[in-house]
Every structure is written in structure tokens, then in C-alpha cells.
Chains A and B, each alone.
Chain A
Amino acid sequence: MRETLNKNYRKIFIIILIIFLWEGIYNLNIYPQTLFPSLTEIIYEIVKGFRDFSIILSIQYSLTLLFKGIVLTFLLAFISVLLSEVSIIFNDFLEMLISIAHPLPGIAIIPLVILWIGIGEKAILFIIIHAMLWPVIINLKSGIQSIPKIYMDLSEVFNFSRVDKIKHIYFMGILPHIFSGLKIAWARGWRALISSEMVFGVVGSSSGLGWYIFKQRVFMNTPGLYGGLVIIIILGLLVEGILFKKLENIYIGKWS
């Protein structure tokens, strides 16, 4: 308990330090103030963005798209991992595919994406799935490999059906890996989403946080740009620090 309290204090201390450092640099005029605004200006822009709903709509759009991406990624990952468990040929194919596709940054394959998928939401979805899928598959596969052999033997002894085996041995065995996969997916998908939104910008009602930041930059609203970055940081902290922790406590806590 004391340990967590101390940790929280340390975190708050670091945030305060960053705030002081920022304001110090701003006031010392080390950087041009048009490119390095004060925190008050940034906060003003964030509040303005919330009041005219532009930030809220952007967050909603980005998170919805990311959620769709994560669901599809896990669906594809589960299917591929299952298939690679039953077929050696598919497993070889999958490994080959991973070693080809995994190192390619999403932004670098944009001309191909435009050619195959087109533009707009579909293209962004493709790029974020590409960013998440390969590490998630690798993660799930290593999860399966780490399931103790004795569990498999037990399932044979008790004559588990295939479905029961998948449900009770595989799924439960790889649950911690699913969570770590989820964390990787969130981090990588989020980055891919923001950067691809900057490339496939759509003006109008349906546009996300990446576009919001890009627009602020084009119209030289630098405090607004930093405001967008602050929102990304806050969302990251909320999802990782609260949502993932809660989920982990609920699902993994009782197994460990």
C-alpha cells in the first residue's frame, strides 16, 4: 500500500517537474514562442476544443477506428494461430509472411495500400491492422509454446473434446499473452492510426486526432497542436494505467 502511494507521489512529482521545465524553457525564450507555446495557451486550446466538440469528435472517431482495428486484428490473429497449430504448411506460410511484413512500416506501404484498398477509413484500418497483427500473432504463438506439456497430457487423460481443449487449455494458457498482445496492439495501433490519419486526412465530420493535429499545424495553431499531443498522452495513460490494469486484475489476477 505504502509502496503504491510512494509510486503515485513519484509520478506526480515527475509531472510537476515536466510542467516547471516546460514553463521555464518558455519563459527563458530559448525557443521561438510561436513554436513553443506556454502551458496556459495549450490548456486554453484544449478547453476550446472540448467546448466546440472538435476534440471530443476526433477522440471518438479515432478510438472507434482503433477499437475496430483491435477486434479485427485479434480475430485474424486467433484464426491464423489456430490454423498454424493444425497445419504445418500454414505455419510455414505464416512465419514467412511475418518475416516479410513485420519490418515494413505502415507509412512506407502507403502506395500499395492506395492501390489495393483505396483511401479513407478502409486504408487507415488496413495500416493499423498491419501495425498490430504481426506482433500479436508472434505473442500468441509464444503463449501457446509456453503452455506446460503436463496440461496437454492431462487433457488427453481426461479425454477433452477439441473445443474443451481450445477453451480450457489453449485459451486459459495464453490469457496473459493475450493481455500483453493487447498492450502491444494498443501502443502500435495508436501510433499507426495517428500517423496514417495525417496522410489520409479527411476534412468534414469524420476525422480523428491525427487529422486534428495535422490541421492545427497547417493553420499554424501551435498551442492547438500541442493540445492534441497532450490528449494523446492522457488517453494513453488512461487506457494503460486504468483500463488495462483493471482488466488484468479481473482476469489474470485470479489465475496467478
Chain B
Amino acid sequence: MTKSNKTLVIAVILVLSSLMVSCSNKDAFEKKIVIADQFGLGYAPIQIMKEKGFLEENLPDYEIEWVKMGNASAIREAMITGDLDIGFMGIPPFLIGVDHNTPWKIFTGVSEAPLGLVSKDRKIVSLNDIQTNEQIILPQPGSIQHILLQMAGKKEFNNAQKFDEQLLTMNHSDGLSAFTANNELNLHFTSPPYIFNELKLKGAHLVLDGKESFGGSFTFIVGVSQESFFNDQEKYEGFIKSLEKSIDYINNDKEGTIKTLSEIYDYSVNELEEYIYNKETVYTLEIKGLNEFEKFMYAENMIDHTFEVKDLIWEDEGNFE
């Protein structure tokens, strides 16, 4: 065997063995829960649960790992590979996952929140005033913000794709900087806390309220898991109990909540109070609006299949409206 052939054989063996090792690593710890959430106040109960150690209290024998992820796609991929037990996201990215056979369902709601399209151009008061050269910043196609914009397009112009050619996708914080700093960018479809920051800018106002385009209130963030988590009663009940405790904590201990969250978000006490304790932000396990999102996304070809509630929620009863 020549030297180069030997190197090749060694390289192949190394690649194959590293594949095997990476596969056998999974599921090494039985008593472990890996949880992923994202940035934003819609996830506040999860952040409170983590900071106050409520889950560790209820599941003392478990190793809990908290992961912060940049978007729902990463959560979806980690869930498929089995690296995640629980993930949190908006309903539309969850539906896209189900549509592509991601083995997951919703097991709880987390929050309702004021989402909306903010404009800093005084001339843009309604969707009718948006010119075709105007760009609209939002997180990504298929996000809840995008679907709400499409719903408004459908209602106002009977064309869900009306603004699709004008989208500029950026994560919320980049979007906030772009919206604040750039004179040509006047429209941003965003969620708390970013929406509150923007509405404070000179001349900024809400062009479209998420509820208006949806036609009522809807769940912003849901908790999603694989079947193995839901079937493990100890894990599941421990988590739900901790989530309920976190929500109670937010509702009953204003001062503690604000203090805890101010360590994560760079906002003043007054700001946080205003952002969390307003009548539109509701933390609840209830799941609202799932059917409407599913029907709309199917009708607009964002998903290829229709689903019944039992395909989407682990428990076909309880907190579903």
C-alpha cells in the first residue's frame, strides 16, 4: 500500500468512527431534559422558570439544560436529531414542521402578545398607504409575523401575497437597528419587547395590529415536544407544574418578575413593567387560534396537508380553545 493510499484509508476510518461516536452519544443520559427557547418577552415564563429554578425544584433528579436558539428552524432540526426535548416557537413554524413530518406536537401554550406592523412614516397610516417600493422588515418567511401580514393582505386586498415581494427578513434586533437607523426603512412587523421600543420613536405608530389581521386573539408562543417527553408522566407533569408556577409568579410577584427579567433584558424597571403588565400580554397555558392558522396556511399553500387538532396537540382536550 502506498503512502497516499494509507492516508486515504485512515481518513475514511476516522470519518466513519466519528459518525458512530456522534450517534452513540445521544440518549446517553436518561434523566436529562434539554429545553430551547428564543429571545423575546413572549418567552418570559420560560425565562422565569429557568432563573428561579422552578423546574429543578419539581424535577430534582433531572439534569436540565437550557439552550437559547436563534430561530425556529434550528429548534426544529435539533428536535429531529433528538438533541432537544422541548422547544418554544410561534404556531406557523410549528405547522411547517408538522407538514414535513417533524415528530412533534404542541403540549402547551405559553403567551399571547401584541404583535404588529410599526411605521415611522406619518404618511403610512393604513396598509393602503404602503407603496410598492417600501420594504417591510420581518423575521423570516413563514414566521407568525409573515402569516399575520398575509392574513391582513387577504382581508384588505383579497391577496395574501400582496406584500411578499417587499419583505426584508432580519431577526428582531437587527430589524430594530435597521428600523431606527435607516431613513428608507419605515416598516417593521415585530413583537415585544422590540415593538415597544419602536413605538417610542418619533412619529412611530401602529399600522396593523396582529389581532386585527387575525380577527381576534391568538397564542403567540407554544411549547412543542416529542412523544417520548409527553408520555413520560413525571417529566411532563413536572414541566407543566413549573410552567404554571412561573406564570403565577409573573402574575403575583411583579417586583420579583421585573427584577429577574431586568437581568436578562437591558431595560429599565419602568419599561419592563410597561412591557409585561399591559392588557395585551397574557401568559397562559391555553392554546388559541391553532385551527385558523392551519386553515389559512393550507389555503395559501404554505403547508401541503390539512390537520386535525389531534395531529397537532398531544392532548386533544384541556387547554385548547
Write the residues of chain A forming the contact surface with B, with a CB cutoff of 8 angstroms. 21, 25, 30-32, 34-35, 110-111, 114-115, 118-120, 199-205, 214-215, 217-221
B177 contacts A by Cβ under 8 Å = yes
A219 touches B77 (CB 8 A): no
B170's partner among A32, A201, A215 (CB-CB below 8 A) is A201
**A219 engages B141 (CB within 8 Å):** yes
Q: What is the bound-complex CA distance between A107 and B168, given in angstroms?
A: 17
Q: Is B144 an interface residue (CB 8 A)?
A: no
Cβ of B224 to closest chain A Cβ, rounded Å: 14
Q: Which of B19, B99, B167, B174 contacts A204 (CB 8 A)?
A: B167
Measured CA separation A115–B177 after assembly (Å): 7
Contact A34 B181 (CB under 8 A): no
Contacts of B164 in A (CB 8 A): 203-204
Number of B residues contacting the other chain (C-beta, 8 Å)? 35
CB pair A201 B168 closer than 8 Å? yes
In the complex, chain A residues whose CB is within 8 Å of the CB of B71: 218
Establish whether residues A199 and B80, one from each chain, have CB atoms under 8 Å apart when the complex forms: no
Q: Can you list 12 A-B contacts with CB-CB less than 8 angstroms, sorted by A residue number? A: A25-B19, A32-B82, A118-B182, A118-B184, A119-B185, A201-B140, A205-B165, A214-B140, A218-B71, A218-B140, A219-B142, A220-B102
Cα A12 to Cα B240 in complex, Å, equals 56
Question: Which of A32, A118, A202, A220 has the largest number of chain B CB atoms within 10 A?
Answer: A220
Please determine whether B177 and A114 come into contact, CB atoms closer than 8 angstroms: yes
CB distance from B153 to the nearest CB of A (A): 13
CA distance A114 to B168 in the complex (A): 13
Question: Do the beta carbons of B167 and A115 come within 8 Å of each other?
Answer: no
Contacting pair B166 A119 (CB below 8 A): no
When distances are taken between beta carbons in the complex, the residues of chain A under 8 Å from B181 are: 114-115
- A111 to B, closest residue via Cβ: B177
CB distance from B1 to the nearest CB of A (A): 16
Q: Which residues of B contact A110 (CB under 8 A)?
A: 174
Q: How far is the CA of A215 from the CA of B142 in the complex (A)?
A: 9
In the complex the two chains form, what is the Cα distance from A65 to B281 in whole Å? 43
- Cα-based distance from A35 to B78 in the complex (angstroms): 10
B289 at the interface (CB under 8 A from A): no
For window 68-85 of B, CB contacts with A under 8 Å fall at 71, 73, 76-77, 80-82
Question: Which residues of the other chain, A, contact B182 by a CB distance below 8 angstroms?
Answer: 114, 118-119
Least CB distance from B144 to A in Å reads: 13
Q: Contact check, A215 vs B168: say whether CB atoms are below 8 A apart.
A: no
Q: A203-B164, A218-B73 are in contact. List 15 more A-B contacts (CB 8 A).
A: A30-B23, A35-B77, A111-B174, A114-B177, A115-B177, A115-B181, A118-B184, A199-B170, A202-B169, A204-B166, A214-B140, A218-B71, A218-B93, A219-B142, A220-B73
B178 contacts A203, C-beta separation under 8 Å: no
- Cα A199 to Cα B170 in complex, Å, equals 6
Closest beta carbon of chain B to A104's beta carbon, Å: 17
Question: Could you say which residues of chain B place their CB within 8 Å of the CB of A215?
Answer: 141
The answer on a CB contact under 8 Å between B80 and A34 is yes
Q: Which residues of A contact B102 (CB under 8 A)?
A: 34, 220
Binary flags per residue of B157-190, CB closer than 8 Å to A gives 1, else 0: 0000000111111100010011001101100000
Closest to B183 in A: A118
Shortest A125–chain B CB gap in Å is 16
Contacts of A217 in B (CB 8 A): 73
Q: Which of B80, B141, B170 contacts A200 (CB 8 A)?
A: B170
Contact pattern, B 1-43, Cβ under 8 Å of A = 1, otherwise 0 = 0000000000000010001000100000000000000000000
Within 8 A of A (CB), among B174-229: 174, 177-178, 181-182, 184-185
Residue of A111, A114, A204 touching B165 (CB-CB under 8 A): A204
